[in-house]
Amino acid sequence: MTGTSAAVSVSSVLAELFAAAARGCRDRSPLTQRLLTDAAYDLGRGGVTARIMAGSERDREGTVPGLRFAGAVHRLVLEGRAPALAKHYPSVGGSPHLPTLWEDALPALTQHADLLRHRVQATVVQTNEPGRSAPLYGGLLVAAQEAAKAAGRQVPFCVRLLEVGASGGLNLRPHHVGYQLPDRVLGDPDSLLVLNPEWTGTPPADLDHTLRVVGRAGCDLTPVDVSTEDGRLHLSSFVWADQLDRWNRLRDALDLAATDPVKVERSAGPEWLAKQLARAERDVLTVVWHSVVWQYVSPADRAMGRAVLADAAAKATPTTPLALLVFEPRRAADDDYRFELLLRLWPAGISLNLGRGAGHGTPFTWDVTPWE
């Protein structure tokens, strides 16, 4: 294969990744779908998108280069650097006109190509979606109560929450969020962030019990400091601009974070988790949690993380129990992906698939089956 044909082949693969990301936005974000569809075509023909994506041509699928591109473009809009494009972005008061979107995007892409290339290469997708606190909250209720039953206790365990891939830590305060059900508000009804969890069914737990969180910590390879304008812009840029419900939800979550700061440590997951799990707290359920992060983790770190968890699980006791609670996409029988909430408890030996939901946490259907 000649150098030219190899370059064309690599560009074709990257263009297909853009097209796949566009298909993933179908029926959910017409604006992002159109931007990525047009960018995929432009990339395939060697347009300005190829210049922006130079150096990222061999990125693996799990790094979703298309969404990194879309996030970098959205940030230009949020920073006021692309006024002609802003009129299409509801996040800044615009209204999309899809037939002219790419025409209005081209001047900004051309003018800021170098900045966009830097941001695409320097960043990872970090939505840190606060809607995922809804299934997390229900899962924590189940975990605390099931661990108590297995230990012969009448009162649910307090929880220490450890999040791997925590990004800006927005989901490390589930007990400080309100969850509006048809007949009541779970959690904190006076919270700055009140979610409609859109649940079908309810968690298999006594909802009258209060979730007691006595410790929280998180790590991330590239943590986001949500106390800064740069951090807030970073997370905001990955919200699809025509999904105003998510946009407003993020605003509220950032406001809540300002009143209840939680530091996210810069660290690889396995090393950090080993340090955290080296100590066990009596009469506390330690919960290891991650959501929509597994695809970004290298195979080596996945194996190391499993080994660290297995070692801690072997040492868990009825008075120092351990749980794994994850919300991640799993390939279904139709070869599509479903986002499932999975729970394991040690030493109780409980493994449950608690249900499934949308990737952003809402809506969610509680449907308990064995985790196989």
Query: At a CB cut-off of 8 Å and minimum separation 6, what does 265 contact?
Result: 217, 218, 219, 220, 223, 272
When computed from its CA atoms, the radius of gyration of the chain, rounded to whole angstroms, is 22
Query: At a CB cut-off of 8 Å and minimum separation 6, what does 245 contact?
Result: none
Residue 1 confidence (pLDDT): 42
270-295 pLDDT per residue, tens: 999 999 999 999 999 999 999 998 88
Peptide bond preceding 299 in cis form (omega within 30 of 0) = no
| Euclidean distance between CA atoms 118 and 120, whole angstroms | 6
Using alpha carbons only, give the angle 58, 62, 63 rounded to the nearest 5 degrees.
65
Q: Where are the alpha helices (DSSP H) in 217-319?
A: 229-237, 244-259, 269-277, 299-315
Q: List the chain pLDDT tens, one digit each, 372 residues.
A: 444 444 445 578 899 999 999 998 888 899 999 999 999 999 989 999 999 999 888 887 778 899 999 999 999 999 999 999 999 999 999 999 999 999 999 999 999 999 999 999 988 888 899 999 999 999 999 999 999 999 999 999 999 999 999 999 999 999 999 999 999 999 999 999 999 999 999 999 999 999 999 999 999 999 999 999 999 999 999 999 999 999 999 999 999 999 999 999 999 999 999 999 999 999 999 999 999 988 888 889 999 999 999 999 999 999 999 999 999 998 766 656 789 999 999 999 999 999 999 989 999 999 999 998
155-173 pLDDT per residue, tens: 999 999 999 999 999 999 9
The structure's pTM equals 0.90
